[in-house]
Structure formats: structure tokens, C-alpha cells
Amino acid sequence: MLSQVDALPFLNADHPLLAHALLAGRNPAQVFQAMFADHLKQALPLQKTTFEPTMVNNEDENKEVEQPISNDPALTPVPTDPDKEASFFKRTLLAIKSFLGSPIFWKNVGGIIVASLLLFGLTLFLLGRYTHHGSSYVVEDYIDMNFDDAKRKARGKTLRAVVIDSIFLIGEAPNIVKDQDPKPGSKVKKRRTIYMWVTGGQAPEILLPNLAGKDDFETYRRELERRNVRLIIKERKFDRKLQENTLLGFYYRGDKISTEMVNDGFKVVEGSTLEAIVSQ
């Protein structure tokens, strides 16, 4: 009986001989035959059994044999990943596309939108409460009212009234509102401040101008008129050396004032009356 014996029954992909042969670019079968050819030709103990190698062709012993394909994953060439060979820009676009398409991204976006709307609504609510949005008052006319009365009336509208300046006006009683800001009819919020200008209780003092070159009654009267001081003739005295209506002196609140006192600097209250002594 003739039997064929596989010359490589104990070799597998993990055998060092096969691995070294593959790394050297040689056919493992030829390497095996070259090493064990003499032993394989010896008679086997089986009766009527001859050995005939089936993996190696003796005529093609020195001929290069095509390297067999191994099923070992460690020796199998790794396929090239197209994504790794793509450009950096393409990989970036793919990563962005993958990120934008992920459910966690849209979940986070939805959470941000909801949180932003809640924060915006809360801000509008608190701002409206702070500025009293929607609740406004029409400013009344407080002009020519006593400041104390105007202040009480403004307080009734939850407004504040303060004096920003005082102005002395001849013939006007003190503490009278003469102007206001905001103007009457304006719409303001709660607790808005109304600024008021009132008449002063005490008139300021005015320095009388020097008589040099202005000792004529009419000339000096016009000068005092610009300073809100009234000048009238109280007394006339004969003087042959001076022209008529030349100022010789004054009376102020019953006291006689000389021209020298005026030239040295004399003050009178704004709005008061100065009585003159003139030549005749």
C-alpha cells in the first residue's frame, strides 16, 4: 500500500521556523526539506509503506515558490484606513459633522436655549420691578406755589421735591416756586425727584458803582437800574458851581450816605430804593 505523508504536519502559523522563513523571504517548505531531507527518505516502520513528499517538487527545489498566505492575524497586512490618509481639513470636517450629529450635542444646545430664555425672562421681570415699568405719573404744575405746599403735593404722588436754587425777585414773597424740572405734564416713574427753583428770602447785596464820570442823576440812575436798585430824588440843593441834577449825596434806609462813602465802596440790598440829593 502506498501512502503519502504530509511533510509539515506539526508546523502551524505560530511555529518559529515558519515565522523566520517568512521574514527571510523563503519558502518554509523548502527550508524544512533542506533540513530534514535525509531523515524523511528513511524507511518508515510501517509495512509496505513508502514516503512520497507532496508539498515539495524535487525538480523545482531551487525555484522560488510563491509565499503562502497565512491566516494568522498578526501576519495579515493591515488595510489602510482612508480616513487616516485624508487631509487634516477633511478629518476636521468629519469630526465636526460627527459632533453636530450626536444626540448629546443637541441636548446641550436645547438646555442652553431654555436656560437663556429663563434668564432673559427673569431679567425683564426684575428690571420691571426695579424701574416700575408700566407705572408712571404725570408731573403737576407747581409753579407759583409755596415750596412746602408743592413738596407735600408731590409726596402724595410718590415723588420727591427738592430746591436746587433760590432767586431773589423784587416784590415776590420768599419760598415761592418759579420753575421746575421735569416740566408740568411730563411722565415720570415712581420716586422721581422734581427739582425746583424758588424765590429767596434774603436779597443779595449790590455794590454801588463809583461816581467818577457818572455823577449825573440820569446816568447814575440807569447804572443802578441794571443792578435792580431804584434811584429817586429826595432833596435838591442850590449850588452855583455845579450843573443841575449833579449828585451830592444819598439817603439809604434813613441814613445819609456821602459821595465819598459810595466811591470807597458801599453795598445796598438788591431791589432796595436809594434816595439822591441833587444840585439845583
User: Radius of gyration over alpha carbons of the chain, in Å?
Assistant: 61
Rounded to 5°, angle at Cα 45 from 41 and 51: 35
The dihedral formed by the CA atoms of 44, 49, 50 and 51, expressed in degrees to the nearest 10: -60
How would you label 72-95 residue by residue, b for 16+ Cβ within 10 Å and e otherwise?
A: eeeeeeeeeeeeeeeeeeeeeeee
Is the per-residue pLDDT at 95 higher than 50?
yes
Pick from 175, 224, 202, 205: nearest CA to 270? 205
pLDDT attached to residue 88: 73
Is the per-residue pLDDT at 250 higher than 90?
yes
- pLDDT tens profile 7-39: 445 555 566 666 667 777 777 677 667 766 665
- pLDDT tens profile 220-229: 999 999 988 9
Q: What is the distance between the alpha carbons of residues 78 and 68, in angstroms, rounded to a whole number?
A: 17
Polymer length in residues for the chain: 280
- pLDDT tens profile 147-205: 999 999 998 888 999 998 888 777 788 889 999 999 998 888 888 899 999 988 777 88
Rounded to 5°, angle at Cα 123 from 117 and 127: 150
Q: What is the distance between the alpha carbons of residues 15 and 18, in angstroms, rounded to a whole number?
A: 5
- pLDDT tens profile 38-89: 655 555 454 444 545 555 444 444 555 455 545 555 445 555 555 555 577 7
pLDDT attached to residue 269: 87
Q: What is the distance between the alpha carbons of residues 245 and 200, in angstroms, rounded to a whole number?
A: 35
| Candidate from 135-139, 207-211, 272-276 with smallest mean pLDDT | 135-139
Residue indicated by cell numbers 460627527: 98
Q: pTM surpassing 0.75?
A: no
Q: How far is CA 21 from the centre of its chain?
A: 74
